Amino acid sequence: MGWPLLLENLQVKRGGKLVLAVPRLELGAGEIMAVLGPNGAGKSTLLLTVAGILCPSQGSIRAGEMVWGPGRDPYQWRQAVTLVFQEALLVSGTVLDNVTLGLKFRGLSAREREQLAGPWLERLGLTELARRRVQDLSGGEAQRVALARALVLKPQVLLLDEPFAAVDAPTRSRLLRELRLLLKETGITTLFITHDFRELPLLADRGLVLLQGQMAQVGTVRELAERPASEAIARFFGVENLWPTGGSLPGLKELPPGLGAIPARCVRILGAKPAVAGESWLWPGKVKYVEEHWDGVYYCLLCEGLEVWGWADNQLRLQLGEQAWAVINKKQLHYIETRNSLNFLSDQEGLPG
């Protein structure tokens, strides 16, 4: 089982500027956490710091008994924590040479190295490619080699920068699911970067959203998508419905000033008013937009001037301008208080150091 990871009071500067602040972040032993956020949010900075490549200007990172931070020697830390870069940094030679490189540095004999590498080559589908020269690999194969090279060292903590980014989307989904099984079996504590929140359920137990160098929210995929802590997070997760509260629609008019948020997939569109509303609000509206998918249809209704995005199965055939009903589940409409925006690093003045 990997080690638990604890980041406390972490501040990281780059080019003399504070670009990442993590007051506290805890990963349980064997937990897999995704790091999400837009460009420049601080994702790579976080990974490079946990890898012992960047030194924080303040704070500490603990893994098991070991500590990384200002004044600490990174040598031992780097033995326990392994970073796999997005661009597989392979040395010239064969796949096997690359997978066993770290073991060679640790002084193992060629025979021992091959014995240890064998199972990992097999699990990552590389056995047939073991003697192939790395310059003849596809981008996806090269990424798998980089991963095998990291896993063969049995790291306590694994850091992955956009795993399988070079692979086409369906193959990436399959590889991420397989990687999850493998990591859960070995119990390696893992932090990985992704730009795509849809990858979160494939690999991660929880996600950390970074915005402008700040921890904006930590949670499971459902918590992040259905209970976003701010408008910025809701937008990042592609929550289609973000309505200003107030007005005359039931559900919104009772809320204090802010936003009502609900993903389109959680709003049901019906062609006729149901007899019973149950735990829902029923909003009448006219069809403004239709988008057909293979497994259903997205509709946008105009309800009292608000654009309401919802989902229906393929049986429902509504035309533009037709009367329809949006069913808003009371438990799923999430209130976001807009007055409490995050204090982003760039908005702050006089930060320490």
Count the residues in the chain.
353
| Closest separation in Å from C-beta 40 to ligand ATP | 4
Q: How far is the CB of 48 from ligand ATP (least distance, A)?
A: 8
**List 40, 93, 139, 274, residue binding ligand ATP (CB under 6 A):** 40
Q: Which is nearer to ligand ATP, 43 or 113 (CB)?
A: 43
Residue 39 or residue 319: which is nearer to ligand ATP going by CB?
39
Q: Is 46 exposed, middle or buried (0-12, 13-18, 19+ CB in 10 A)?
A: buried
Return the residue of 7, 10, 34, 44 that touches ligand ATP, per CB under 6 A: 44
Nearest approach, Cβ of 184 to ligand ATP (angstroms)? Answer: 26
Which H or E run includes 222?
helix 221-226
For residues 209 and 216, is the Cβ–Cβ distance under 8 A? yes
Q: Which of 45, 82, 98, 194 is in the footprint of ligand ATP by CB under 6 A?
A: 45
CB atoms within 10 A of CB 247: 15
82 belongs to the binding site for ligand ATP (CB under 6 A):
no
Q: In whole angstroms, what is the distance from residue 11 CA to residue 217 CA?
A: 17
User: Least distance to ligand ATP from the beta carbon of 2, Å?
Assistant: 23
Enumerate residues 207-236 that contact ligand ATP by CB under 6 A: none
Q: Of residues 5, 18, 25, 41, which one binds ligand ATP by CB under 6 A? A: 41
Q: Which is nearer to ligand ATP, 37 or 251 (CB)?
A: 37
Which whole-number Å values give the CA distances from 259 to 77, 232, 251, 267, in the listed order?
A: 45, 12, 11, 16
Residue 335 CB coordination number (10 Å): 14
Please, what is the minimum distance in Å from the beta carbon of residue 162 to ligand ATP?
A: 9
Residue 240 tokens, joined: 């289609």
Tell me the sheet residues that pair with 335.
260
Sequence-distant (6+) residues with CB within 8 A of 307 are: 288, 300, 301
What 3-state class would DSSP assign to 201? helix
Sheet strand arrangement including 157-161: 66-68, 58-63, 5-14, 17-27, 214-219, 206-211, 32-36, 189-193, 157-161, 81-84
Question: Cβ closer to ligand ATP: 203 or 301?
Answer: 203
Residues 6-35 that bind ligand ATP (CB under 6 A): 14-15, 19
Nearer to ligand ATP, 44 or 98 (CB): 44
Nearest-approach distance from CB 225 to ligand ATP, in angstroms: 20
When the beta carbons of 44 and 143 are compared against ligand ATP, the nearer one is 44
Give the Cα separation of 247 and 249 in Å (integer).
Answer: 6
Closest residue to ligand ATP: CB criterion: 15
CB of 350 to ligand ATP, least distance (A): 19
- In the complex, least distance from residue 342 CB atom to ligand ATP, rounded to whole angstroms: 16
Q: Compute the C-alpha angle 320/306/308, nearest 5°.
A: 60
Which residue's CB is nearer to ligand ATP, number 1 or number 89? 89
Q: Which residues bind ligand ATP (CB under 6 A)?
A: 14-15, 19, 37, 39-45
